[in-house]
Structure formats: C-alpha cells, structure tokens
Chains A and B, each alone.
Chain A
C-alpha cells in the first residue's frame, strides 16, 4: 500500500502538483484512517491532504482517476470468448512456463494482468522514466520482466520442432496463440508505459519548455505558445511580488519615538501610559507605463502589460497608455476586462503602423506631465523608431527632472540602437535607466531593478 502511495505521489509530482513531505505523510495517515475499500472516500481523503487549492483539486482528481484506472484490454475488445481459447486441457501444456501468462491474456483476466504490470513496473523502476523518448526502452524492459521471453522461447522451440517434423499434435495452433498473445501483451504494455511516462514526466517536460521559452525572443513567440507564456508571466509576477512584499514589510516596522512619548505623558507624571511609535511611511510609487503598440513591438507590449498587471498587488496605482501616434489612456479598459482580453482589444484598436514618438511625447506633455511628481515612475516601452519625425527630446528631459524615475525598455538588441530611424541615442541620456528587454528573462531583470529602486 505504501509503495503504491509513493508512486502515486511521484505521479502527482510528475503532473505538476508539488505535495511536500509532510503532506505526503498526512496523506498516508489519512489513507490508513479511512481505508482503501471505498474509492470515493479514499479520493476525498487523499484530495484534502494533497490538493490545497480548488483548482488543484480538479487536477488531482484527474491524476487519481488515471493512476487508479484499470482500463486494460480496452483495445482488444471487452468480451473474451473463453470457449474458443480454452482448448481441451492438456496436462503437458499446463506445465509449460508460459502457460499461466498465456491464460491471463487469453481470458482477458484484468486483475491478474494489472497485478503483473504493477510488479514489472516496480521491477524496472518505471517511475524513473520521464522523457517520451524512453518509452521504447521501458516497454522492452517491462515485457522482459513480465515473461514474454518464455512465450517466444516456447514459440521458437515449437517452430523448430515443426520444421524437423517432430512436433506434438496442435503445435501450429499453439504457435498461433502464442504469437497473438505476444502481440496483445506488447500493445497493453506499450500503452501502459505511454500513460505512465506521460504521468511521471509531464511536469519535467513542461519545465524544459518553460525555460526554453523564457530565453526565446519575445517577438518570435508563436500564437500557440501564448497561453504557456501567459502562465509564465503570471508566475513571474507572483515571484517578483512576493520578493518585494517582504522588503516593504520590513520597512514598515516602527521604533519607539522616545521624544514624543515623553512629551505626551508629561501629564501623567512622566509615567509612560501612552506610547508613540515612529512609523516610516512607505509611499507606494505611482507607475505610469507608456507602451508602443505598433506592429513591430506588439509582442513585447503584450507581455509587459501582462506583467505589470500581475504586479498590481504591489503597485496599486498603475496607469497605462498605449500609442502608435497619439497617446491613448487604456487604464480603465484593464479594470473592466481580464487583462489578456483587454490587451488584445487595445492592440486591435490602438495598434497600427507609422509610429510617431514625437507626437506621443507632445500629448504626454499636455495631459500627464502636470501630474508627474517625485513619487512617480515612468516606463516607456518601444524601439524608439520615430520614422524621422521630430523626436521632442525636450519633453523627456523635463520628465527626467521631475519624476522619480524614467526607464526605457527597448526590445531591440543594444547594437541596433541609434541605427536608421532609431532615436535611442537622443532619448537614452534623458532616462535614469535603459534596458534591453528582448526576452522574458531580460524583462524580469529590468522589472526587478525597477522595483528595487521604486520601493
């Protein structure tokens, strides 16, 4: 039982749930308490100890059903015709080593086959497999552990006897049966190994793909990877938020303000009835994000906006603007819809060609600049390709003097900055920091630095 549970935990880990050691211990105790007779009860008990979120619970149920499923012989047809496969009992045949396995397969004995699969699985340590390329190897090992060599040995022996003409009666049928059984067993084992590898290896493969995706240039991420990317960005936002929440918490702790305490308690003969605490006020910075959403940088804008919205817990006051030519305030749209829908909508409506940074900066000077103060951090995201229009660098310089921080994130590699119609060499001196953010990993570093200086 314990062995089975251990494997189940490994299957859970393989599927992406991460039960810790104490949870596994709880699960084992829980299983001991409720027993294993009632499948639903066992599932409830394991579920409440191993899946700690409502969303995880559905996931858990799926793994549970898959792990404790015995859908064997499904492909071979459910109704075994016992009459045709059990030939008149032949005492000599019954003694052959392969007979028992043959019987199991021919009579479609689910329970025995399941038990054998299980034993073989433990013998070859199938739970160590996690790459789909290992399937062939493990299938072969499993077949060996289950005793197919005996089947094929008997078959070739009979075949040899048949060739020399010294075969016992019914040898030809026997060979047929053995071959059918071998094929059937091969299919069962292959499917079983496939299911198990998918179960144990799911999360590892996912992690591999995730790390590859983080290093991929954002502009090259394909539409089918968006969902995965969105999860990645979400996780990143949570990690950043957790790290920085801890810092701001430390800063909130106050010290005893001796001077004010003494002053206030002068009336009580100096006995400190009331204490005063010196509290450091943490001013949460206002964040203004201005995003170029023209065709060339759309992919980057999508992920930056997503990331910043994930950080809303940490930075409550985030205002976002999008532009191709004129500046458009898109903050409200994000309040109305879930971020990913809102982002697509903004890209549809504001996106276009013929970027004009000068026009955007003039708009910014008119509507937003008066509201910018020392608590305000401004982020620009764009390639600074102005199509040779007036760069309006003066606006950016005023902003630089007024804001706490002006950060420019440029998705192009550094070597491209200033080439062609890029105004980056003019804009860069008017920013506190400029970062290259072509990949998710770079974006994470840039945002991390931004938060460090903002908090």
Chain B
C-alpha cells in the first residue's frame, strides 16, 4: 500500500481527523508504521473503543475499498479465501458434452483422445471458475485496499495458522493455478477482543496496538468531532460522568461508542443540563447489563455531584 502523502505520524493523524477519527499519538504512530513497514497491525482492546472504526477511517483516508472478513468459530479457508464453483464446472462439462464429442472425433486411439483432452483441461480450473472470498479479493484489488480481519480471536486456532501464510508473504497458493501474489499489498488490520489467547506466531508477524479507554481530553475531542451538535459544556460534564463510571466495578464498562450513543440521545432529547432524572432515564444507552444499571444507579448522586464540579471548572477555563 503506498501512502506517499503521509510522511509523519502527525500528518496521518490530521488526515484521520478529517475522516472524523480522532487518533491518539500512539494510534497514529502504530498506523504510520504499519503503512510504511508494510506489516499487519494487530489492534486489541475492549469492545467499542474504535478498533473497527480505525479501519474504516483508514480506507476512507487512503481512498481504497475496505474488505472485511468477519471471523467466527468454524470459519475455514473455503469461506475466507476462495472456492471453486463446482456446480458451474459440472454444468459446463454437461453443456459442452457435444463439443467434447466433436473434439474427440478423429482420435484413433485412447491415448490420442486423452492427449487432446489434456490440452483443454486447464479451462475448467481457470479464474472464471474461481469464487474469490475476502482474502483473495483483498489481494486482487488493483489499487490496494484496507483488509480488516475482524475479531480474529473468534476464529479457530487452525484458521489463525492458515492466516499466517497470507500475512507474511501477501500471497496465496491455489494448487490448480499456482501462486497468486498481491497486486498491491493491502494494509491489514486484525482486531481482537481477547476472547482467546492468540498464538505467538501471529503476534510476531504483526505490529501491536492496544487501544484502551481514552483520556478525558481525547474523549472530548472525539465527542466534538463525532457529535458536534452537543453543547461544549454539556460535553465536558458528560465525559467526566462517563470517566467516573469507568471507575466503578461494572460488568461491561461504557466505551467510546456508548459515550457517543449517549451524547446523540441527549442531543435528540434537547438536553442542556445533566439532571439526575434525565441520566437515570437514559442510562440504558450507556450500560448494557441490568446489574450495571442498578449498581450505577446507586452511585449516581455521588458521581453527578463530582462531575458538576468538573463541568464548572471547565466552564471557567
């Protein structure tokens, strides 16, 4: 993948910002290295911190298609790489039966007939009968692409091992056709939520990027970029509130995507103040487990009091 315009992490970060992705310096540096070292990028972190978004933004920024491979248990090579169109092959042999008969005419011996047949058998194993799946599609993309292998931890270890070949050489071998190499090397992003420990071999081939929950300042920038309609002061308090929630012992901590959902909810409700009743009513946008809603509800007055101070400080500043 060529990205001549992005000669430093800063320019990449500002480019991403134009695509509405606010990248921390760590994200920008790792992505920059991934682009220039032509190495896949393994992105880990809790759900909803923008791992998949990063891939989308990169595709938009580099102006190439995004090819996505969603992993799940039982995913195999046939679904990820390519498949022969068996039925089409069979259909063609049936339809072409007469033609084959013609071809065979005049062959004196069986050996001669076989030779004639051999001269044509490559026809049925050509690219016309090849059904490309995401991985092959990504390699064949003429201008390159961003290949997103999403939730690699959900796939079986076997598939992970198979992926190694693709990731290290950017080529795959189809026994009947030979080796198909990438026309332009794609920028590969793998994401993982840590459902399963990934193999060391895979980690060794990738650059590693851990995206955690953002710092308050960064989260405010993300909020400003994604939900510009939200009043500045409310945004401040909202971020302080979410940050305080992450201190609690919850089953699923609210991530950036939840913050954005909540912000959009508040915009829809035309809220301009973070009142206790309002928060209680809309907490479902932020917390996805009933137990979490209950335990956060108990701590609500304390957190709100604390965030009011934070909002006040921000207003003064």
Contacts and interface: CB of A to CB of B under 8 A. Distances in A.
Q: Decide whether A and B are members of one complex.
A: yes
A40 B30 CA distance: 12
Contacts of A57: 208, 210
Contacts, number: 63
A245 B86 CA distance: 33
A26 B37 CA distance: 8
B28 to A, nearest CB: 9
A36 to B, nearest CB: 13
Nearest to B7: A33
Interface in B38-65: 39, 42, 44-45
B33 A53 contact: no
B90 interface: yes
B157 A26 contact: no
A255 B208 CA distance: 39
A48 B203 contact: no
B163 interface: no
A148 interface: no
B90 A273 contact: yes
A245 B29 contact: no
A44 B26 contact: yes
A34 B33 contact: yes
A249 B161 CA distance: 12
A44 B208 CA distance: 10
Interface in A8-41: 20, 22-23, 26, 29-30, 33-34, 40-41
Given A44-B25, A54-B210, A271 B90 contact: yes
B204 to A, nearest CB: 6
B29 A273 contact: no
B208 A30 contact: no
A391 B241 CA distance: 64
B9 A41 contact: yes
B207 A44 contact: no
Nearest to B34: A48
A22 B204 CA distance: 8
Interface in A218-251: 245, 249
Interface in A33-74: 33-34, 40-41, 44-45, 47-49, 51-54, 57
Nearest to B8: A34
B209 interface: yes
Contacts of B37: 26, 29-30, 33
A33 B25 contact: no
Contacts of B209: 48
Contacts of B87: 273
A20 B26 CA distance: 22
Contacts of A30: 33, 37
A253 to B, nearest CB: 10
A44 B29 contact: yes
Given A26-B37, A249-B158, A273-B90, A51 B208 contact: yes
Contacts of B203: 52-53
Nearest to B93: A271
Contacts of B32: 33-34
A273 B91 CA distance: 10
A51 to B, nearest CB: 6
Given A20-B204, A34-B9, A249-B158, A48 B30 contact: yes
Contact of B39 (A26, A51, A245): A26
B204 A48 contact: no
Contacts of A44: 25-26, 29-30
Contacts of A245: 157
A40 B25 contact: yes
B36 A33 contact: yes
A55 to B, nearest CB: 10
A23 B36 contact: no
B138 interface: no
B206 interface: yes
A52 B26 contact: no
A22 to B, nearest CB: 7
A57 B208 CA distance: 9
Contacts of B44: 53-54
A52 B204 contact: yes
B206 A52 contact: yes
B78 to A, nearest CB: 12
Interface string B191-216: 00010000010011111111000000
B100 to A, nearest CB: 14
A48 B274 CA distance: 39
Q: Which of A26, A29, A40 has the most CB of B within 10 A?
A: A26
Interface string B143-183: 00000000000000110000000000000000000000000
A45 B90 contact: no
Contacts of B9: 34, 41
A403 B194 CA distance: 36
A26 B207 contact: yes
Given A41-B9, A54-B210, A23 B204 contact: yes
Interface string B76-101: 00000000001100100000000000
Contacts of B36: 33
A325 to B, nearest CB: 38
A57 B210 CA distance: 9
Nearest to A35: B8
Contact of A48 (B86, B158, B200, B208): B208
Nearest to A60: B208
Contacts of B208: 47-49, 51-53, 57
Contacts of A33: 32-33, 36-37
27 contacts: A22-B204, A23-B204, A26-B207, A30-B33, A30-B37, A33-B33, A34-B9, A34-B33, A41-B9, A44-B29, A48-B26, A48-B29, A48-B33, A48-B207, A48-B208, A49-B207, A49-B208, A53-B44, A53-B208, A54-B44, A54-B45, A54-B194, A57-B208, A57-B210, A249-B157, A249-B158, A273-B87
Complex A-B, nearest 9 residue pairs according to Cβ-Cβ distance, in ascending order = A52-B203, A44-B29, A48-B30, A52-B208, A54-B210, A48-B207, A44-B26, A30-B33, A48-B208
Given A45-B29, A54-B194, 11 more contacts: A33-B37, A34-B9, A34-B33, A41-B9, A41-B25, A44-B25, A48-B33, A49-B208, A52-B206, A53-B44, A54-B210
Interface of B: 9, 25-26, 29-30, 32-33, 36-37, 39, 42, 44-45, 86-87, 90, 157-158, 194, 200, 203-210
